[in-house]
Chain A
Amino acid sequence: MMFESRPRIGRRELLATTMLVGAIGACLPAAAQAATTPAPSIAAETTVAPASAEATAAGASAAIAAAAQPDGDTSIRPFRAHVSEEAVADMRRRLRSTRWPDKETVDDRSQGAQLANLQPLVRYWATGYDWRKGEAKLNAFAQFMTRIDGVDIHFFHVRSKHPDARPMIITHGWPGSVFEQIKLIEPLTDPTAHGGRAEDAFHVVIPSLPGYGFSSRPTETGWGAERIARAWDVLMKRLGYGRYLAQGGDWGAAVVEAMARQAPPGLLGIHTNLPAVFPPDAAAAIGSPGPGPAGLSDTERAALEDVRRFIGSGGWGYYQMMTARPQAVGYGLTDSPTGLAAYMLVHGGFGKWNYGEDPNQTPTVDEVLDNFSLHWLTNTVVSGARLYWENRDQNLLSAEAQKTREIKVPVAITVFPEDDLFRAPESWARRAFPSLVYFNQAERGGHFAAWEEPQIFARELRAAFNSLR
């Protein structure tokens, strides 16, 4: 991260921040006030330094050091995203001067992002796309930074106006970012304006994973799902939330499952949209040929075959590469925004994404480019990829590997039918999670469900956690 800290904190924010810090465990009127109105323009502005030239990189590193919050400092600082004009111009310049490989030798996506799809996307990214609008989407909501376990964590914190709203922390995955979830904020915090009831309201906390977006990049090993889970509990407690809920998909699912295993006091329940439900025999059958275990139902058989097909057709190559050698694959993606986009587009979550051909498809082109630009402008490709390396011993599908049967915390699951990877069968979910309180298959949505179908996603969270009242 390249923060060039310019603490132009206005008096009101300073007061709010101070009170926040002082008021752990108590009701937080100041925070609520800050959260329910869009942050004013005088809020602290954090600039991301241009990361282009070798010569400036050292300067940028110095900026990181300067911005680092001392360990032990538990203050919560207001944050606004502002990337320097130079960095944005440099991104555009690099996009315009992309050197392209030749066209793939097939007529489909089986070798990766197709040249004829990627070139118009990059052309638009370099010319028509406006990062400032993406930045404005972030800055429409209250953001903060706080240091936890040696890493600066960036997060959204939006309190509902409804006094009985329940606090919830929502975790993104790869190749996503908080951009995946910001469309949830209004439906969750203000349900009465979005088809819900006052008692459906949540106070929402959406952190950037360590090494992602505006969170700082860990400089030491150990930031796997377990440590992130512990950090999220610290964050929620630091915000004064003694009782809270947690949600996650993709890597966020690994984090919430870890939280549920750790079961910190106050964690009332988790919701996952990528549950580790594979029983041992089916998990073992994923990687080995043959018919697989006997006695599977049609739904279970379909789940196994879907994952086998996904992996067998090479869908997991990106995963294995980042798990093994994040730094190796990362140099090219750090130096080439086009390379970054192409690598992220290989993710199965984009398997049916049509590059804006259908203007009604979500995420839209601008939303996807917001996300890619955030990864680029914060220079977090390698630090983001390193999450795979950190979790190299994890198996996100296997119930046994995730020790799901040890989980006592209530678990809610929504299956989104268009996820490229698989659809968790309810039978497996019930076996894997003895504390399952909610299971539903939504009518639409895929791997990036919050990004694709925020209204459905919000409705699922209301229904999932209603059972916990």
Chain B
Amino acid sequence: MRSGVKGSARRRWLAASALAGAVGIFAPAAARAETGSAPAGAAAASAAQVAPLQAAATQSVGPEAARPERSGDSSIRPFRFRASDEALAEMRRRIAATQWPEKETVADSSQGVPLATMRKLARYWATDYDWRKAESKLNALPQFVTNIDGLDIHFIHVRSKHPDALPLVISHGWPGSVLEQIKLVGPLTDPTAHGGRADDAFHVVIPSMPGYGFSGKPASPGWGPERMARAWAELMNRLGYARYVAQGGDWGAFVVDQMGLQAPAGLLAVHTNMPATVPADVDKALLAGAPPPAGLSDEEKRAFDQLVRTFRQVDYARLMGSRPQTLYGIADSPVGLAAWLLDHNDADGQPAAAVASALDRTSSAAGELTRDEILDNITLYWLTNTGVSASRLYWEYKGGFFNAKGVKTPVAVTVFPGEQYEAPRSWTERAYPNLIYYSRAQKGGHFAAWEQPRIFAEELRAAFRTLR
């Protein structure tokens, strides 16, 4: 949001300089880029960090080849992305030339996203949809790239004008990107302009996960949530944030759970909107397809039933978890990619319900998810050719999903009603013994930040209020 970068350019320049100086990596270029829109030349130079993606046959190696990983170089480089006109024309050409399958043999979405839905979306995507608007939204926010643990990490970094703002790192998930969270930037960094108080303010850091968006693509295994958690701690240190909080949903929830377990110096607390609270006996029953253990409360029984439904709908995760490199089709076909990213569980339940309903929403007064935002995210995957590298995160992770992980650091939880399961307070208190906040939001689902950014921002304010 543009409102996120309001304020005195000079003051923020100073703040950024001070920050950089604090950790001994003065990066004037970064600060300059942050305080104003970069000149065209700089934009072109930064955009060049992402290799042109249009020439299919020539693109036998990924963009990371054009973005050398410079281990040991801890500089923070400004970043802007501008897709080439050729890349956009090529994407539109491919969409228009899609070879389609026949219609599904059912009248609902039980075999996948229905043909009529995909064709309608593709028609709009290839004609009236405008990626440049998404690019402008992104480039309105200061973005940087820095090499951590051998990999270039892209991140949005927006400092609040309020001096006591609390630094916050927010992790997205799959099939999302930093685009899920950009609507949070304004409310979080500039609360007084968004119904909050000055002491609700956050400095916001939103990294792209490795293999996602503009971050580098790992060329070797090992980049699971544990390593990402260490990388985020390093990122916050590098930005000079000695005390900070972390937030995540979906894969971001795994990352913040790992941050909680690792408890790096300076991490005050984490907030998760996909808490891992399932007790061991319940988890065992779920994995075995057995009935629930005796003695569950009504609320716990309801959560159990929701998890049963969820575990029936994770075949996309199983495929990516076992053979991510099978998915060449989503690297080669924009419509294939879109269908894969949209088909995140059955539309009868979350999270696809929110996405499916968004496909019919062409404008939104309250910040709810729109069709353009869905396409912004899919287009980002396409233009960065990250369908497969993003899938690999499922392959990297071999641990449990919703089981309690033993996080002892302070944890705040918001339960959104449309989440995979609504974590009962009882389970949440057992899973997170240092629970500092538990709340049930009125609206929102698995992509809560994307779906209900205002509610989400209010939740973060409330969740971390006691830490200020």
Contacts and interface: CB of A to CB of B under 8 A. Distances in A.
Nearest to A113: B325
A469 interface: no
A338 B328 contact: yes
Contact of B112 (A100, A217, A325): A325
Contacts of B364: none
A326 B319 CA distance: 13
A96 B333 contact: no
A102 B316 contact: no
Contacts of B387: 101
B389 interface: yes
Contacts of A105: 218-221, 392
Interface string A328-340: 1111111110111
A328 B319 CA distance: 12
Interface string B90-105: 0000001111111111
A222 to B, nearest CB: 8
Contact of B105 (A51, A219, A329): A219
A219 B330 contact: no
Interface in B148-168: none
Interface residues of B, number: 66
Interface in A290-342: 313-318, 320-321, 323-336, 338-342
A105 B395 CA distance: 10
A331 B323 contact: no
A389 B332 CA distance: 25
Given A53-B97, A102-B62, A331 B336 contact: yes
B361 to A, nearest CB: 22
B332 A99 contact: yes
B64 interface: yes
A51 to B, nearest CB: 5
Interface stretch (B25-33, B187-195, B337-345, B434-442): B337-345
A102 B219 contact: yes
B327 A332 contact: yes
Contact of B57 (A97, A320, A333, A334): A97
A324 B217 CA distance: 29
A100 B329 CA distance: 9
Contacts of A314: 318, 321-323
Nearest to B54: A99
B331 A101 contact: yes
A328 B97 contact: no
Contact of B326 (A52, A94, A336, A342): A342
Contacts of B104: 327, 382
Interface stretch (A114-122, A396-404, A417-425): A114-122
B56 A99 contact: yes
B359 interface: no
A343 interface: yes
B335 A332 contact: yes
A346 B105 contact: no
Contacts of B337: 332
A335 B332 contact: yes
A462 B19 CA distance: 81
A98 B100 CA distance: 17
B375 interface: no
A247 B268 CA distance: 66
B62 A321 contact: no
B362 interface: no
Contact of B99 (A111, A318, A329, A379): A379
Contact of A336 (B102, B112, B332, B338): B332
Contact of A339 (B105, B106, B113, B328): B328
B102 A217 contact: yes
Contacts of B321: 314, 317
Interface in B90-149: 96-106, 111-115, 118-119, 122-123
A99 B101 contact: no
Nearest to B325: A112
A385 to B, nearest CB: 9
Contact of A386 (B64, B105, B322, B327): B105
A386 B111 CA distance: 8
Contacts of A332: 327, 329-330, 332-333, 335-337, 339-340
B288 interface: yes
Interface in B298-334: 313, 315-316, 318-319, 321-333
Contact of A99 (B59, B103, B114, B218): B59
B325 A320 contact: no
Nearest to A93: B97
Interface string A281-292: 000000010000
Contacts of A118: 328
A323 to B, nearest CB: 7
Given A100-B59, A335-B335, A329 B106 contact: no
Contacts of A51: 99-100
Contacts of A114: 325
A225 to B, nearest CB: 16
Contact of A111 (B114, B339, B395): B395
A321 B56 contact: no
Contacts of B98: 53-54, 335
A113 B336 contact: no
A102 B330 contact: no
A220 interface: yes
A204 B327 CA distance: 37
B343 A317 contact: no
Interface string A373-389: 00000010111001001
Given A112-B324, A339-B328, A329 B112 contact: yes
Interface string A355-391: 0000000000000000000000001011100100100
11 contacts: A99-B53, A99-B59, A100-B56, A113-B328, A326-B111, A329-B340, A332-B339, A336-B336, A342-B325, A346-B323, A389-B111
Interface of A: 51-54, 57, 94, 96-106, 111-115, 118-119, 217-221, 288, 313-318, 320-321, 323-336, 338-343, 346, 379, 381-383, 386, 389
Given A331-B118, A335-B98, 12 more contacts: A54-B119, A98-B56, A101-B325, A101-B385, A112-B324, A115-B60, A331-B338, A334-B100, A334-B101, A339-B331, A339-B333, A342-B326
Interface of B: 53, 56-57, 59-64, 96-106, 111-115, 118-119, 122-123, 217-221, 288, 313, 315-316, 318-319, 321-333, 335-340, 343, 385, 387-389, 392, 395
Task: State the 6 A-B residue pairs at the shortest beta-carbon distance, nearest first.
Answer: A332-B336, A339-B329, A314-B322, A332-B329, A327-B112, A102-B62
